[in-house]
Amino acid sequence: MGELLSGIFSSPYWPYALALVSAMLLIGFMLVSAIFSVWMERKVAGRIQDRLGPTRVGGKFGWLQTLADGMKLLVKEDIIPASADHFLFRLGPYIALVGSFLAFIALPYGNNVVANDMNIAVFFMLAVLSTEVFGVILIGYGSGSKWSLFGGMREAAQMVSYEVPMALCVIVPVIVAHTMNLSDFARVDPSAPMLESRSLMWNWYIFHDPFTFCAFWTYFTCATASCKRAPFDLAEAESELVAGFHTEYSGFRWLSIFMAEYGSMFAVSGIACLLFLGGWHIGVLPDDISNLLGGYNGASNIYLWVLGNVVNVVVFIAKGWTLVFIMMWVRWTLPRLRIDQVMMTCLKYLLPISCVLLMGVSMWSLLVPYVVQKYFPWGMFAACILLGLMVLRQMIFWAKEPPGTGMPGMWSMTGMSSYQGAKPK
């Protein structure tokens, strides 16, 4: 995108202006995304746990409550404990925020819509996202509180541990695509046959083979844990009636910590979309929308090409927020794990599974006949569609049943007196 526009604007200062505009757009998107994520978190929690507050207050759809909380955090007094290291206390939240922000530099939102199109974009994003742990450690240590220090140490151990299986799962589609450039995962080869186009849903890498399919779910689990989301949110230590590593924070610095968390949630979701879910493609068209409308890189009509890229960006953001929604859904559904269970899940289960997936996808490419590799994605896609329809049918069946009769675990209680699902005798 920058090279295309540089040909139009030949000023020597144009690259610096473009870098500044890109940075401001990314920061603005992080802010808007964080505000939207806070609103969505409340709505998801309110609907799943039947909380009256998030489903009632805040004006139309609850937007005013989110804006009121944002204003409160901006004007709230920022207190630093007397025993805290003032320099580290101030520095920690911004290091965590910068680590999350830098990941967006290499994240492509559409066809050539990326701040910096890197050949090692996958490695760069994983590397800068891992720097958030330094901010967490400084936050815990600089607070001068034992509870904050405990929370920071637990989060450091958790993030460093889960980064290993997450990186191994990322390598699985990298082996298939033979590239580490995130844009290449979604770019379409114009010379490829229509039914083999990477933009079509059944040709996405999640359906490529059984190992990439399992790698997506393993990666998403590790990404949820690396973002400090339940059931892996031991860094917050809510069972100890403290907020973990950020116990002593308030006001804008507390806001910066949570902006980094929500930014990381969208960043890891964006990686999942590009590696496994077709990136910015809808999944039903044989080519990129921008290329279909305006030709390759706008050769036919630059305005239609830009319009197509707007659609690409909207589709990509919608996919990313859908995965963020699933993270929230899991948080307000599953109970929290103990710290030993969190570490055991990573080291005893997810790490061996990711190693098996890495070895399996390598053997798949070498040993499986070409005919099987060609038609397996269609079978996997059809099986997933069938499974999704079965789940949808079961959900509709549960919704029609009276309380206590839909869930299998409650069948034995439907005949008890005074139970809400019992039939009168």
- Identify the pLDDT of residue 420: 47
Q: Which residues contact 363 (CB under 8 A, 6 or more apart)?
A: none
Tell me how many domains the chain contains: 2
Range of the domain at 155: 79-367
Residues 283 and 389 in one domain: no
The answer to whether residue 290 is domain-embedded is: yes
Residues 380 and 351 in one domain: no
pLDDT tens digits for range 217-243: 999 999 999 888 888 887 665 556 677
- Identify the pLDDT of residue 239: 59
The answer to whether residue 66 is domain-embedded is: no
Residues 157 and 282 in one domain: yes
Residues 243 and 391 in one domain: no
Residues 219 and 95 in one domain: yes
Does residue 364 contact residue 373 with C-beta atoms inside 8 Å? yes
Q: Which residues contact 317 (CB under 8 A, 6 or more apart)?
A: 109
Q: Confidence band (pLDDT; 50, 70, 90) for 272? A: very high
Residues 257 and 344 in one domain: yes
Residues 274 and 386 in one domain: no
Handedness of CA 323, 329, 330, 332 (dihedral sign): positive
Q: Could you tell me the two tokens for 392? A: 């949808």
The answer to whether residue 236 is domain-embedded is: yes
The answer to whether residue 240 is domain-embedded is: yes
Residues 398 and 263 in one domain: no
The answer to whether residue 257 is domain-embedded is: yes
pLDDT tens digits for range 7-66: 555 667 777 787 888 888 888 898 888 888 888 998 888 888 877 777 777 777 788 888
Residues 355 and 395 in one domain: no
Indicate whether 105 pLDDT > 80: yes
Specify the pTM: 0.89
Measured distance between the N- and C-terminal CA atoms of the chain, rounded to whole angstroms = 72
Q: Could you tell me the two tokens for 46? A: 């309110």
Across 234-257, average pLDDT: 78
Indicate whether 425 pLDDT > 50: no
Residues 234 and 258 in one domain: yes
Q: Confidence band (pLDDT; 50, 70, 90) for 6? A: low
Residues 244 and 392 in one domain: no
The answer to whether residue 296 is domain-embedded is: yes
Q: Could you tell me the two tokens for 375? A: 């038609």
Q: Which residue has the tokens 């507050």?
A: 53
The answer to whether residue 321 is domain-embedded is: yes
The answer to whether residue 289 is domain-embedded is: yes
Residues 391 and 349 in one domain: no
Does residue 277 contact residue 204 with C-beta atoms inside 8 Å? yes
* Cα–Cα distance for residue pair 336/116, rounded to 1 Å: 38
